[in-house]
């Protein structure tokens, strides 16, 4: 075998490997683009909107205030019993 044939076969294998690697990267990039597009599409449906969160926070604050007043009256009654 001549050196030129060996070099041609070697370079052919290297170029084929680079082509396969580039195709794999290209396919991965296309799949990532699809995934990102799907995430962008689903994102508003999955997460709570800011105004909805504010409503929930206000409702929770009102309930905690009510709970605090109930516990305060409970502890006041408990303190009154301990004094007698």
Q: Are residues 22 and 62 in the same domain?
A: no
Q: Are residues 57 and 42 in the same domain?
A: no
Stronger pLDDT, 41 or 1, i.e. the higher one: 41
Q: How many domains does the chain have?
A: 2
Query: Is pLDDT of 83 > 80?
Result: no
Domain that holds residue 60: 48-84
pLDDT at residue 57, rounded to an integer: 93
Q: Are residues 53 and 19 in the same domain?
A: no
Stronger pLDDT, 45 or 74, i.e. the higher one: 74
- pLDDT tens-digit map of 25-72: 999 999 999 999 999 888 877 777 788 889 999 999 999 999 999 999
State the Cα–Cα distance between residues 57 and 63, nearest whole angstrom: 10
Q: Are residues 43 and 54 in the same domain?
A: no
Q: Are residues 68 and 56 in the same domain?
A: yes
Q: Are residues 24 and 2 in the same domain?
A: yes
């Amino acid at each position: 075998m001549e050196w030129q044939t060996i070099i041609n076969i070697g370079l052919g294998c290297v170029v084929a490997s680079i082509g396969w690697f580039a195709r794999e990267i290209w396919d991965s990039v296309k799949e990532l683009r699809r995934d990102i597009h799907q995430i962008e599409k689903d994102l508003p449906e999955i997460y709570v909107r800011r105004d909805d969160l504010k409503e929930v926070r206000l409702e929770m604050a009102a309930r905690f205030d009510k709970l605090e007043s109930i516990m305060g009256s409970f502890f006041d009654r408990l303190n009154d019993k301990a004094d007698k």
